[in-house]
């Protein structure tokens, strides 16, 4: 049985849609519907098994058939239209909109970027989406082939995003609840054969790093970020190339076998099993 519990009075942990402090996974299935895969806990409820054995619907809308002025016995909410999420790119990592501490979802669909506020129960109401406005120099949303939320990478208290656009890597810096403040092209190549896995602090030094897949060798590589001049966040140029990174080289994070022919799509989450990795 699946059931929903009242949200806790604390902010959701990164990636956590269900309020159990474990990261969950939102995916768009083959029918174009949004599904939430909650993390499963071990006997230690603060640690996950890493398994994702079941899913539930991740989105809904107000019932268009319900009379708002009368008690007609119809439910207040119904599922989002079937196939609503088809051809949509999604990402999530924390409270992005509203400052309510609840996990939100960001999506590229219909040629725009949107934030779908989380409800604290494991879903989003598609009626409540808000468009994310972009600066004039930002790439057109319909050219984005991957979007990854990095939380607050730059230390300004606002959410940042990393994008693949054709062969280029971009950063959208500082979502203020209405718009992105700065768009920065980090590199013009060679991202056609690469996929961003995650943009978080991997090394434990408090600075955002990047893990990406290279399809040429089928490996995962780690690019370590450097602090910016004032020490508040990552220097974005350190994530633009291996030479600019903290170590000057991209380190192997996963050996061969990670190529697209073996694993077409995948996404890095925060620590799910409590091992610190």
Q: Which of 248, 259, 187 is nearest to 223 (CA)?
A: 248
pTM for the whole thing? 0.89
Mean pLDDT, residues 90-110 taken together: 91
Confidence (pLDDT) at 1: 43
pLDDT class of 9 with cuts at 50, 70, 90: low
- Hey, what are 41's tokens? 């806990």
Per-residue pLDDT tens over the stretch 183-233: 999 999 999 999 999 999 999 999 999 999 999 999 999 999 999 999 999
**What backbone phi and psi angles, to 5 degrees, belong to 113?**
-100, 135
Q: Are 104 and 116 within 8 A, CB to CB?
A: yes
Residue 242 covered by a domain: no
Residue 246 covered by a domain: no
Mean pLDDT, residues 94-106 taken together: 89
CA gap 60, 63 in Å, rounded? 9
Residue 102 covered by a domain: yes
Q: Which of 113, 95, 112 is nearest to 104 (CA)?
A: 95
pLDDT class of 93 with cuts at 50, 70, 90: confident
Confidence (pLDDT) at 177: 93
- Hey, what are 151's tokens? 């939380």
Higher pLDDT among residues 234 and 17, named by residue: 234
**The pLDDT of residue 261 is above 90:** yes
CA angle 65, 69, 71 (to 5 degrees): 75
Question: Cis omega before residue 95 (within 30°)?
Answer: no
Confidence (pLDDT) at 243: 98
**What backbone phi and psi angles, to 5 degrees, belong to 192?**
-60, -35
Residue 42 covered by a domain: yes
| 186: helix, strand or coil | strand
Higher pLDDT among residues 9 and 183, named by residue: 183
Q: Mean pLDDT over all residues of the chain?
A: 90
Residue 144 covered by a domain: no
Residue 152 covered by a domain: no
Other CB atoms within 10 Å distance of the CB of residue 68: 8
CA gap 35, 33 in Å, rounded? 6
Q: What is the DSSP string of 222-242?
A: EE---B-TTSSSB-GGGGT-T
Q: Which of 98, 104, 150 is nearest to 123 (CA)?
A: 104
CA gap 221, 19 in Å, rounded? 31
Higher pLDDT among residues 21 and 66, named by residue: 66
Instruction: Report which DSSP code applies to 118.
Output: B
Per-residue pLDDT tens over the stretch 123-146: 999 999 999 999 999 999 999 999
Question: How large a percentage of the chain has pLDDT more than 90?
Answer: 71
Q: Which of 203, 221, 210, 202 is nearest to 259 (CA)?
A: 221
Confidence (pLDDT) at 68: 83
Q: What residue numbers bound the domain in which 78 lies?
A: 1-129
| 143: helix, strand or coil | helix
Q: Are 103 and 118 within 8 A, CB to CB?
A: yes
Residue 36 covered by a domain: yes
pLDDT class of 181 with cuts at 50, 70, 90: very high
- Hey, what are 27's tokens? 């995916």
Higher pLDDT among residues 106 and 15, named by residue: 106
Residue 170 covered by a domain: no
Number of domains in the chain: 1
**The pLDDT of residue 27 is above 50:** yes
Helix residue spans in 109-247 (DSSP H):
none
């Amino acid at each position: 049985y699946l059931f929903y519990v009242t949200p806790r009075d604390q902010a959701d942990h990164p990636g956590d849609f269900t309020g159990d402090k474990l990261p969950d996974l939102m995916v768009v299935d083959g029918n174009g519907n949004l599904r939430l895969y909650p993390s499963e806990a071990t006997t230690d409820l603060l640690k996950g098994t890493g398994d994702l054995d079941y899913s539930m619907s991740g989105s809904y809308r107000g019932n268009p058939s319900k009379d708002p002025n009368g008690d007609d016995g119809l439910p207040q909410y119904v599922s989002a239209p079937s196939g609503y999420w088809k051809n949509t790119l999604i990402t999530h990592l924390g409270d992005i909109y509203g400052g309510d501490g609840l996990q939100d979802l960001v999506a590229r669909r219909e040629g725009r970027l949107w934030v779908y506020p989380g409800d604290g129960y494991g879903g989003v109401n598609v009626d409540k989406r808000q468009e994310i406005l972009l600066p004039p120099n930002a790439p057109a949303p319909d050219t984005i082939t991957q979007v990854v939320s990095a939380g607050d990478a730059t230390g300004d208290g606002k959410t940042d995003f990393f994008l693949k656009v054709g062969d280029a890597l971009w950063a959208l810096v500082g979502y203020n609840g209405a718009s992105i403040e700065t768009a920065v092209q980090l590199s013009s190549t060679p991202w056609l054969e690469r996929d961003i896995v995650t943009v978080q602090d991997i090394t434990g030094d408090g600075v955002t790093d990047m893990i990406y897949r290279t399809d040429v060798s089928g490996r995962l590589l780690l690019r370590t970020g450097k602090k910016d001049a004032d020490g508040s966040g990552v220097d974005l140029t350190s994530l633009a190339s291996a030479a600019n990174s903290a170590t000057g080289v991209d380190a192997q994070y996963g050996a061969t076998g990670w190529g697209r022919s073996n694993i077409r799509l995948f996404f890095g989450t925060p620590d799910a099993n409590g091992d610190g990795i």
